[in-house]
Structure 1
């Protein structure tokens, strides 16, 4: 039977892989956004946050005597690369990318809530504090996306309706 500390460590590894996936996904999205400068700036800001989050999670893992899972990190990176490439083939890439980002933020929110509960259960205040700080950043990004999805959608539809204007990115 696995003990709670082992679960926490495994879930931290999952979170690290999730952040690696986010880095790949956000990097690809930011590189391709051309006509939505506010969205691009926010994605780039969150990319910097995400890199810091991955480092913080890695520190928690190491403090608990573990190491990151190369297999999980690579798998997550390859999945994100596939997601990034899939956008090249859709007419409404900016909409699909925004929806994927919003969905991914909510998966991260759920993961960090689990990590906080697990860290609290084993008395790991430092990990709980780190995860709570990251959770607040993920909730802020999800909130920003929720507020701006209508704006991005309206801009896309307007650009699409105007002949000769690039709307996809």
Structure 2
């Protein structure tokens, strides 16, 4: 593939990743505001929100280094759909479980996106961008691992709360 074609694919991927991270924020921020009975989940979401904000900065730095900018339209569109997805779970009796499933799926989507970006960066000789992409990838893997490792605990707590008649939603 020609160098400019790789560059075009890389820029599109970086813009998509930027919008994806904006979407992640629009999903996590409403969730964390609603959590009351799962403090460990709230704390982890708060931590990952801070990581996500740093990931956005990293992506912006890579784009700036390539004399490019993020796509405001993509950012808006994905943020909107993320907010709607988060809102959709608020009516579920098992909101915390639905959020856990969706967050786990989304983290794995992000992992795939960053692995692809890493491959494109290496193919295009964008070595300066690789460390930023790897940092984001590492944080997404850690969050996905945490969600997987804690799914049984969250589910068990949900069942326990529900059994005693306490609110088990969030």
User: What TM-score, normalized to structure 1?
Assistant: 0.97
Equivalent residue, structure 2, for 1:50:
52
Equivalent residue, structure 2, for 1:102:
104
CA RMSD in angstroms, aligned pairs only: 1.0
Within 5 Å, which residues of 2 pair with 1:84-95? 84-95=86-97
* Distance (whole Å) between structure 2 residues aligned to residue 29 and residue 98 of structure 1: 10
TM-superposed deviation, 1:129: 1.2
The secondary structure found in structure 2 opposite 1:34 is coil
Alignment counterpart, residue 75 of structure 2, candidates 61, 66, 73: 73
Report how many residues are paired.
168
Q: Which runs of 4+ in 1 moved over 6 A?
A: none
> 1:24-57, CA deviations, whole angstroms, 9 ceiling, x for partnerless residues?
1110111111100001100000000000101110
Alignment counterpart, residue 115 of structure 2, candidates 108, 113, 116: 113
* Distance (whole Å) between structure 2 residues aligned to residue 102 and residue 83 of structure 1: 14
Gaps of at least 5 residues in structure 2 are none
* Distance (whole Å) between structure 1 residues aligned to residue 141 and residue 87 of structure 2: 27
* Distance (whole Å) between structure 2 residues aligned to residue 110 and residue 22 of structure 1: 15
TM-superposed deviation, 1:128: 1.1
User: What TM-score, normalized to structure 2?
Assistant: 0.96
1:23 aligns with 2:33: no
Equivalent residue, structure 1, for 2:141:
139
TM-superposed deviation, 1:87: 1.5
The secondary structure found in structure 1 opposite 2:69 is coil
The secondary structure found in structure 1 opposite 2:90 is helix
